[in-house]
Amino acid sequence: MAFVVRRLTEDDAEALRTLRLEALQTVPEAFLSSYEEEAAKPFAWFRTVARGPDRNAIFGAFEDGVLAGMAGFVAGERVKERHKGTLVGVYVRPSLQRQGAGRALVEAVIAHAATRVTVLEATVSASNHPAVALYRSLGFIRFGTEPKAVQIGGRFLDNDLLQIDFSGRPS
Ligand SMILES: CC(C)(COP(=O)(O)OP(=O)(O)OC[C@H]1O[C@@H](n2cnc3c(N)ncnc32)[C@H](O)[C@@H]1OP(=O)(O)O)[C@@H](O)C(=O)NCCC(=O)NCCS
């Protein structure tokens, strides 16, 4: 394995900002946020995201000490949604793709989520075959499709809605 996966801390904020903006610029169709929105965020915002307040967390894959992949977990905040969390911001730099980093990162998020929420959700563009294949191979079940979920460059994209229900799994 040519990479190491660990949870990010505040000290990774600069690396997170760099990778996040790279992801938003190179595969905009894979994310709800836009490059312009996040490039305008103050650095303190990236520090908070990297730290993972509350039950939130971001895991990173480091190649020779450089952050080259990431996957995040965001927990529901409202009382009636605290049993749910969402897999977010999954990205692996092209030079590290197809070497197991995406799988290791999403597995880290699943392990983190399994002890904190009952249901882990994920949303993925229905045409994003690599991500759909990855998520389904890790136990995500598709429970619906949101038509025209995203508009990008005058084009509409449908999103697959996926979830893992941890109920009944040994903890
Ligand atoms: C999706 C993504 C994270 C996968 O990362 P990765 O490190 O290449 O994935 P892995 O090497 O761990 O592969 C895991 C599985 O993903 C699937 N997969 C990955 N790349 C694939 C490809 N090009 N075509 C088809 N399936 C693919 C396969 O099921 C693979 O399992 P296998 O190796 O047993 O066939 C990566 O392609 C990426 O960053 N894409 C751009 C951003 C993105 O789409 N993010 C998801 C937003 S919801």
Rounded to the nearest whole angstrom, what is the distance from the C-alpha of residue 128 to the centroid of ligand 1?
9
CA distances from residue 55 to 12, 71, 116, 162 in whole angstroms, order as listed: 18, 14, 7, 21
Residue 33 corresponds to which tokens in the numbers above? 């946020």
Mean pLDDT score, 9-28: 97
What is the CATH number assigned to the segment(s) 4-165?
3.40.630.30
Ligand 1 centre from 79 Cα, in Å? 34
pLDDT averaged over every residue in the chain: 96
Ligand 1 within 6 A of CB of 98: yes
Q: Is the CB of 99 under 6 A from ligand 1?
A: yes
Place of tokens 């730099």: 93
Give the containing element (helix H, strand E) for 63: strand 57-63
**What is the per-residue pLDDT across 25-34, written as a single tens digit (0 to 9) for each?**
999 999 999 9
pLDDT tens-digit profile of 96-129? 999 999 999 999 999 999 999 999 999 999 999 9
Closest residue by CA, ligand 1 atom 47:
30
Q: Give me the percent of the chain exceeding a pLDDT of 90.
A: 94
Dihedrals φ, ψ of 110, to 5°? -65, -45
Q: What is the DSSP letter of 41?
A: S
